Amino acid sequence: MTPQDLLQLLSQRQVRRLRVIENLLRGRKTVSTLYWGQRYGLLYLLGLDKALQRGALDQVAQTLVTQRLAAWTQDEQPQLRLTPAGHTQQQATTYYHPQTALTWPRVDLKLVTQRLFLAVQVVSQYAHHNVQYYPLMTDLATQQAVRQWFHQIKSTALAQMVLTALTHSLTQLPELTAMVTTAGLSGYQQPGQTTAQLARTYQESAWEIYLRRVDGVIQIATDARKRDHPLHPLLAPAWQTPVTRSAQATLAAVTTTSLSLDQVAQQRHIKPSTVREHLLEAAIMLPVTAVPYDRLLPQTTRQDLLAALPGALDDWEYMALTPELQARYDFFTFRLLAIWCGKQGEMA
Amino acid sequence: MMESLTASLKRGFGHTTFREGQQAALTALEQHQDTLAVLPTGAGKTLIYQLYGYRHAGCVLIVSPLLALMTDQVNRMRVAGFRRVAAITSLTSYAERQVILAHFADYQFLFLSPEMLAQPTMLAQVQQLRLSLLVIDEAHCIVQWGPDFRPEYLLLGAIRERLARPLTLMLTATADSATQHEIAKQLRTTPQIITESIDRPNIFLDVEAVANDAEKRERLLQLVSQLVFPGVVYFSSKQLASDMAQWLQEQTGLPIAAYHAGLSSEDRFKIQQQFMAGELAVICATSAFGMGIDKNDIRYVIHYHLPTDLGSYAQEMGRAGRDGQQSLAVLLSAPGDERLPLTLMEANRPDDTTIQRFYAHPQAFDSDDPGIALLTFYYQHGISLAAVQTLFTRREQERHHALAQMLAYAREPDCLRDRWLTAFGQADSTHTAKCCAPAKVPLDLAALGLKRTVQPAVNPVTLDWRARLETLFLSNN
Ligand SMILES: [Zn+2]
């Protein structure tokens, strides 16, 4: 990621923690990362660069600071805010905004990319009656899934069906995004271009090209959710609920019984604090209707806390509450209220 | 009666003649003789065990130290029509391993990394197999100390005993007689040794002396601008390979890409396939590139840094001119170039004090350090402090000797080829103008017919994405 890519992820009105951005990219799903990821509107970054090293963005951020486009704030964690010059530059740059970003946390990107690319290669070679070629290097599970899919669906019409489906998906995206996605595919007599090569050709950063490609892939995966799509059997399993299995189970126990949270913990053999983390994770990642807010945040609780908290959500601090309020309401309740308030804003 | 080797070659592989060395090795194996084949890169070493496996029931077990090479070899064999092929390495996922183990007895060819084979549970599984042949690939790794060095290779002698001494084929591209002797000793066998001239007469050898880094870069640019492509430039670091690929591309306008272990497997696949398809003029690579590349028309190989020994140099520059056409190997040499390999050598080797302290308190050390990992290995296998010290001292002497030979090549005033072949006990004294150009002799590209005369075509027309999708999926016939 270049300084210009990071510039797009910062804001002038909101101070942002570098570690949160880094952890989102690395796919670290702690409640704190998810909460702030949502506050920043950056949840789509989740797991986009799993190989990113810890601290890898420090130097990139420092470059922005040196260029006076961003400034560190005084705090225990490295936090950044755009300067007016940084804001001006951000607004003046045309930068790619992925169209399908909202759904990204719900797709297993690695799975869908590997399956799609191998399937395209297999169908392309098949269409050209070529059986001797080097397959893309993928894990055995991908190879098996694609082989099984191919043997079930193989027909003379398959290539045309896939062509029609992909064309339909890519037509919905900007031309350059369609171009980048297509040029990255490998098949008969087309090795495919790397992200770095496409970045040079189209004079964009490698990260921006990558965002375009993810957009293309997810658009295809979205269309493949329809049962009559030729890639449906292969790509539909990539869709998942954005919360962990364990958190789903906790949420189910809370919504379908009248057990207290501590009783749920006992029943599920997990720590009471884990139950609360699961609920916060679910609250952040799922629609507002999926979580029983009325039960977890009674009207009086909301009124009590809201009366004591500042208007701007990002200025809320649990430690700034009076000791009395802290004694009455735990951090879980405080954070859940913040999530709920945030979701109200989203809906408005 | 069994059909002749040539008949099998025709029926199974569609070829009519063997290459030098292949037939000799196969004949020895058919007579149930353990065989050490020292054949240059590109001599078709893999065909030897493929054909043997094709002719005999049971499993051919191939032990190879290079993970990337193994995966590539498995892919290649599948492409060639062998279905019952699998590899298990430390990179193989648990699930994948289970699938392979469930069908273990069905495989015709199994590739295992030495550390996998050294695991008792794996060894027990392998003992159940009916082995037709044990292949030790890159057998020089048994004696060579370097990034490829696998201490597990030292256990192969004992492992071979545990497997009831199956018929064994040892393969290497680079082994002088001392190395050959050591390989045989480690594997506790007296093999028939098949060697073949390592000379590559169609590769013109050239050393270019430059004064410093800046001059070296300029000379590289000149060469890449003038030479007929495709070519490969080797660097000792990933970063430099990437940076120089970009710089050369900007300077020359040629399609140039970097290839190294830091790229994703998808990118490596694409760069490799682009190069094979002739879409790239030059690859800027680290030593990760080359294994498993069968491109016959590489016209030149340039080394930007001094390799650590003549064996690996010969292996890398030997990737040029497999088609027998005139080709070129250039070594760019600046004063002080030996410092880098020396530093790497020292960084890789624990010193005497460390070895002693380790043996006193083995638990107190961090086994993430490769040197310590090696010591841990020796310690756990009951090798004494004195033996380890001797081992390290001997290896260090070997490495210094190898580097000295490499330097002597770079500084050779008369005949580079003679210097190279003599180091491998294959003297050659027929220097001609078509043979080599040591540092003081200017390089005449035109005389070699390697000077580019036509301007390279501009980048191919970029298709609109719809058209590109159509060419992917629609066949013209
Ligand atoms: Zn000569």
Same domain? A122 vs A234: yes
Give the pLDDT band (50/70/90) at residue B377: confident
Mean pLDDT comparison of A110-114, B67-71, B418-422, B426-430, highest-scoring range: A110-114
β strands within B163-269, DSSP E: 168-172, 192-195, 203-209, 231-234, 256-259
Tokens (6 digits) for B259: 């290839």
Average pLDDT, chain B: 87
Chain A / chain B CB contacts < 8 angstroms: 96
Tell me which CATH homologous superfamily contains domain B203-339+403-459.
P-loop containing nucleotide triphosphate hydrolases (3.40.50.300)
Q: Looking at the 3D structure of chain A, how many domains does it have?
A: 4
Of A94-103, A220-229, A339-348, least confident by mean pLDDT is A339-348
**In the prediction, which pLDDT does A348 show?**
39
Q: pLDDT, tens digit, for every residue of B317-362?
A: 989 998 899 999 999 999 988 888 888 777 767 788 888 888 888 8
Q: Which of A238, A253, A279 is the last residue of a domain?
A: A238
Element (H or E) spanning A81, and its range? strand A79-82
Pairing between β-strand A70-72 and β-strand A79-82 as defined by DSSP bridges: antiparallel
- Clarify whether residues A212 and A152 are in a common domain: yes
β-bridge mates for residue B193, sequence order: B36
B5-195 and B203-339+403-459: same fold?
Answer: yes
How high is the pLDDT of residue B285? 94
The domain locations on chain B are 5-195, 203-339+403-459
Is pLDDT above 90 for B205? Answer: yes
Structure tokens at B411: 């500084």
Q: Which residue has the higher pLDDT, B166 or B148?
A: B166
Quick: pLDDT tens for A237-287: 999 988 989 999 999 999 988 889 999 999 999 999 999 999 999 999 998
CATH number where A39 lies: 1.10.10
Compute, in angstroms, the gap from residue B404 CA to the centroid of ligand 1. 20
- Same domain for A234 and A109: yes
Tokens of B237: 């670091």
Q: How far is B113 from chain A (nearest CA, A)?
A: 18
- Both A323 and A338 in a single domain? yes
The mean per-residue pLDDT over the stretch B42-56 comes to 89
Which chain A residues contact residue B471 at CB under 8 A?
189-190
Residues, beta carbon < 5 Å, ion ligand 1? B 415, 417, 431, 435-436
Tell me the pLDDT tens digit for each residue of A224-236.
999 999 999 999 9
| Rounded percentage of chain B residues whose pLDDT exceeds 70 | 94
Q: Which residues contact A107 (CB under 8 A, 6 or more apart)?
A: A218, A221, A238, A239, A240
Smallest Cβ–Cβ distance between B96 and the set A128, A139, A178 belongs to A139
A277 and A303 in one domain?
A: no
- Give a yes or no: residue A148 inside a domain: yes
Calculate how far, in angstroms, residue B402's C-alpha sits from the geometric centre of ligand 1.
21
Structure-token pair, residue A128? 């050209």
Contacts with B16 (C-beta within 8 Å, 6 or more apart), sequence order? B6, B9, B10
In this structure, is residue A100 part of a structural domain? no
Q: Which residue has the tokens 């062509």?
A: A163
Q: What mean pLDDT comes out for the span B32-41?
A: 89
Instruction: Answer yes or no: is pLDDT of B37 > 90.
Output: yes
pLDDT at A109: 94
For the residues B267-281, what does the mean pLDDT come to?
Answer: 92
Mutate to test the interface with A, among B465, B474, B475 (most CBs of A within 10 A): B465
Q: Separation of B409 CA from ligand 1 center, angstroms?
A: 11
Contact list in B for residue A169 (CB cut-off 8 A) is none
Residues A222, A153: one domain?
yes
**pLDDT score for B147:** 42
Of A64, A95, A126, which marks where a domain is finished?
A: A95
Task: Tell me the CATH number for domain B5-195.
Answer: 3.40.50.300
A181 shares a domain with A130: yes
Average pLDDT, chain A: 93
Does residue A219 share a domain with residue A251? no
Q: Which residues of B touch A191 (CB under 8 A)?
A: 269-270, 273-274, 276-277, 279
Q: Dump pLDDT digits (tens) for B249-267.
A: 999 999 999 999 889 889 9
Q: What's this model's pTM, rounded to 2 decimal places?
A: 0.84
3-state secondary structure at position A338: helix
Question: In this model, does residue A327 exceed pLDDT 60?
Answer: yes
Query: Are residues A84 and A135 located together in one domain of the fold?
Result: no
Which domain, by its residues, includes A257? 242-292
Question: Do A195 and A83 have their domain in common?
Answer: no
Question: Which residues in chain B have their CB less than 8 angstroms from residue A187's CB?
Answer: 472-473
Residue B353: both structure tokens together:
């004090």
Dump pLDDT digits (tens) for A31-42. Answer: 999 999 999 999
A132 and A13 in one domain? no
Q: Where does the pLDDT of residue B220 fall: very low under 50, low under 70, confident under 90, or very high at 90 and above? A: very high
A57 and A113 belong to one structural domain: no
For chain A, percent helix, then strand, then coil, each to nearest 5?
65, 5, 35
